[in-house]
Amino acid sequence: MDRICRHYIVTGCVQGVWFRDSTKKRADELNITGWVKNMEAGKVEVLACGEPEVIDQLEQWLESGPMLAKVDKVISEKLPYKEHLKFEIK
């Protein structure tokens, strides 16, 4: 099956609530590569690459995030697949 990448911007109360660490843990469980990082204005940015069905699972998880997060919106954009060695926190 073809692998894909998706770029996400997550808005809401998503900084200072273990969002990046929890996203990395979930991505590692799903064998997804890419990265997660905080952005200005309290947003979180995610690049996720892997099999389409596991990317969909991560996207569903991003819509609620970790227990302390309050996600308002997840903006998603499909990107061409690019190889990454692992999933990292930037």
The token pair at 27 is 């991505």
Beta strands 33-38 and 87-89: pairing type? Answer: parallel
Active site residue 38: yes
Domains, the chain: 4-89 (3.30.70.100)
pLDDT band at 84 (very low <50, low <70, confident <90, very high): very high
Selecting among 3, 20, 26, 31, the annotated active-site residue is 20
> For residue 13, what are the β-bridge partners?
70
The C-alpha angle 34, 70, 31, rounded to 5 degrees, equals 25
Q: In Å, what is the CA distance from 88 to each residue of 11, 23, 46, 73?
A: 20, 10, 10, 22
* Six-digit token string for 38: 């905080």
Q: Which of 3, 26, 31, 38 is catalytic?
A: 38
- Length of the chain, please? 90
Q: Is 3 a catalytic residue?
A: no
Mean pLDDT computed over 19-48: 97
pLDDT range class, residue 17, cuts 50, 70, 90? very high
Per residue in 38-79, pLDDT (tens digit) is 999 999 999 999 999 999 999 999 999 999 999 999 999 999
